[in-house]
A and B are shown apart, each in its own frame.
Chain A
């Protein structure tokens, strides 16, 4: 007969021995790797960056993950960026006229089947005294040209939002009318018209077809000083980006998820550990001291059961602001007594009457000493199993709280991403990656814990494994 206690090392070995436990641990290890990857891949200050729109400027909005191209067998465009290195620059100064001419020419190939989502042109103009004149011409593979902009550029750093600028829209409408021959075009989408095959349907998002080929952007500047010069960056925003896509604020969701992983795991685990350990300890204390303390703890659990959990959380968040760690604290405090306490109490009652505990009393061990050194270790396997089972609930809880608006505005968590997705109309508009990927990850992590918990069943249930 061997009723030896299990050390954490042995528990781990036992978990790894079963298939479900093995899979669960692998998933968790991958999550940890993901968390480490998050730190290395994105070494900047994520908290500030997540809330800074400028940071994500060169990403497309609401772009699906790039691998959708492979799976669906389609050809959605990736973002094409022509940085200032991609422009062929020629500049010369005509002294007699006192004019500086700068010409930029950039070309790119567009071979996709679908239109870009947006076009933006970033100009960096260096001038002294008088602001220069700038002309932007868009040249299509079929030879048609559109002048997008012609005018004075006042500021040194400016952005021309080709897709939405009303003046540009007007020019494009004029360009369009050459082909539609007076037929009504309802919505002018520059990013479609500029890239569409020249025919009557070239304005129609559903019917237009992409004109594939080499496109050119010409920027001509006329300035008044020899030192005046011009740099440009053209971003032809695609419809796919990265491994996980982007959200409505152009944020790379991979970053959000990678950073959400450690936070989600930490929240879940810390909450679970605190709740489990406190509940078990309270159960032991209840069993050991008995009497009034036992009664008090039982009454406390009755009260806590009755308290409305969610309204209290909302109330406190309303008064004190939402902070993920404060949220954690509230959740823990409201859950300190539960069914685990009752189970721990009955196990502790049994252990209390064991001979080695009696012996300890007789050589003078104090109650607290016995609780921590003699009784609690017996409950360690149960506590660990409990932690494993409670963690997924905590992870779901965090996501649920985020969905009802209790979001920590600073930290990106998976729950927050899903909440943002709902607010951004992902469900309505079909931005599937925005919801499905974080939700799947939550389910995956919760399943991993459940699988480990399943393999721990053998340990927690008093079952003799060998004769």
Chain B
């Protein structure tokens, strides 16, 4: 893979209350071996972005539009069959939030990992099981896990199984949606170590979705900060953490407690807007300490000199 280019991606849902504009025209790029984290609070649309990229959508989708080009090939135009055969899980796979709780309780682990290979790739059973055993080694799980059932594994081990299932077809991109939620700190650290190793060894690109800014720093080369369905800032990890431009990014970083340094924590008053009727202008304006009159007009994405993108009137 060379590049994933997302342009003006839109995902709207139809609900009883109206149209939820979960992902409202976002654009980003992802290069080979690169990790882009999409960070934001709950309800900002980051998970929906993942589902849009994987084209795993519920029935009440009102609109999915924009452009997702993988090495120049448009993915949104593809028909379902082709996408399933060529792209999903083969080139882009996903580790879902809480996936470790969705393991089949009545199937042995080895068989669960091997099954998609048999069904989709037409591998025979022994080949598939061999591939499963190998990938278990790659995620640093002992061989006897092949014969175990999910309830015999700890949370950390289950999550490794899920990661194994995601990388078994050697995809280019793995989307990770809160892969360590509900895991303890030490287990989390071990899992992040594993993800780092896999990234370095296999040249994997990650799209890492999380609300935890500290955790994001473990993998991110670049970050996209999402708010109310829009990306408000994209930049390198150094830029975002050391010198955030957008007021929301700034406040978000200041609200993260640090273990090793002293700081005064800041909080963001108010709450995110309703995605059914987002405000017309800048969506962050009601909570922004720098709000001005011009913020009643919707801001556009501005490219800064150092290659960063910000969506804020303060910069253009």
Give A contacts to B, CB under 8 Å.
466-467
Q: How far is the CB of A13 from chain B (nearest CB, A)?
A: 14
Q: How far is the CB of B231 from chain A (nearest CB, A)?
A: 23
Scan B29-70; emit 1 where CB is below 8 A from any A CB, else 0. 000000000000000000000000000001010000000000
B197-242 interface with A by 8 A CB criterion:
none
- A-B interface contact total, Cβ < 8 Å: 4
Q: How far is the CB of B62 from chain A (nearest CB, A)?
A: 14
Task: Report how far A180 CA is from B88 CA in the complex, Å.
Answer: 100
B54-94 interface with A by 8 A CB criterion:
58, 60
**B-chain residues with CB within 8 Å of residue A466 when the two chains form the complex:** 15-16
Q: How far is the CB of B224 from chain A (nearest CB, A)?
A: 24
**A-chain residues with CB within 8 Å of residue B16 when the two chains form the complex:** 466
Interface of B is mostly: loop
**B-chain residues with CB within 8 Å of residue A467 when the two chains form the complex:** 58, 60
Task: Report how far A467 CA is from B58 CA in the complex, Å.
Answer: 9
What would be 4 A-B contacts, judged by CB atoms less than 8 Å apart? A466-B15, A466-B16, A467-B58, A467-B60
Identify the closest chain B residue to A467 (Cβ): B58
Q: How far is the CB of B43 from chain A (nearest CB, A)?
A: 11
**A-chain residues with CB within 8 Å of residue B15 when the two chains form the complex:** 466
Q: How far is the CB of B26 from chain A (nearest CB, A)?
A: 21
Scan B4-30; emit 1 where CB is below 8 A from any A CB, else 0. 000000000001100000000000000
> 4 nearest interchain CB pairs?
A467-B58, A466-B15, A466-B16, A467-B60
Task: Report how far A43 CA is from B60 CA in the complex, Å.
Answer: 57
Q: How far is the CB of B124 from chain A (nearest CB, A)?
A: 38
Task: Report how far A467 CA is from B59 CA in the complex, Å.
Answer: 10
Q: How far is the CB of B166 from chain A (nearest CB, A)?
A: 23
Task: Report how far A466 CA is from B16 CA in the complex, Å.
Answer: 10
Q: How far is the CB of A444 from chain B (nearest CB, A)?
A: 35
Q: How far is the CB of A259 from chain B (nearest CB, A)?
A: 46
Task: Report how far A467 CA is from B60 CA in the complex, Å.
Answer: 10
**A-chain residues with CB within 8 Å of residue B58 when the two chains form the complex:** 467
Q: How far is the CB of B5 from chain A (nearest CB, A)?
A: 29
Task: Report how far A138 CA is from B15 CA in the complex, Å.
Answer: 82
Identify the closest chain A residue to B60 (Cβ): A467
Q: How far is the CB of B18 from chain A (nearest CB, A)?
A: 14
Task: Report how far A467 CA is from B16 CA in the complex, Å.
Answer: 12
Task: Report how far A466 CA is from B58 CA in the complex, Å.
Answer: 11
Q: How far is the CB of A467 from chain B (nearest CB, A)?
A: 6
Q: How far is the CB of A419 from chain B (nearest CB, A)?
A: 52
Identify the closest chain A residue to B59 (Cβ): A467
Identify the closest chain A residue to B13 (Cβ): A467
Task: Report how far A467 CA is from B56 CA in the complex, Å.
Answer: 14
Q: How far is the CB of A20 from chain B (nearest CB, A)?
A: 23
Task: Report how far A466 CA is from B13 CA in the complex, Å.
Answer: 12
Q: How far is the CB of B277 from chain A (nearest CB, A)?
A: 19
Task: Report how far A189 CA is from B15 CA in the complex, Å.
Answer: 77
Q: How far is the CB of B12 from chain A (nearest CB, A)?
A: 14
Task: Report how far A117 CA is from B15 CA in the complex, Å.
Answer: 69
Q: How far is the CB of B15 from chain A (nearest CB, A)?
A: 8
B94-130 interface with A by 8 A CB criterion:
none
Task: Report how far A466 CA is from B60 CA in the complex, Å.
Answer: 10
Q: How far is the CB of B181 from chain A (nearest CB, A)?
A: 14
Task: Report how far A162 CA is from B58 CA in the complex, Å.
Answer: 81
Q: How far is the CB of B141 from chain A (nearest CB, A)?
A: 32
Q: How far is the CB of B213 from chain A (nearest CB, A)?
A: 24
Task: Report how far A466 CA is from B17 CA in the complex, Å.
Answer: 12
Identify the closest chain A residue to B16 (Cβ): A466
Q: How far is the CB of B301 from chain A (nearest CB, A)?
A: 30
Identify the closest chain A residue to B58 (Cβ): A467
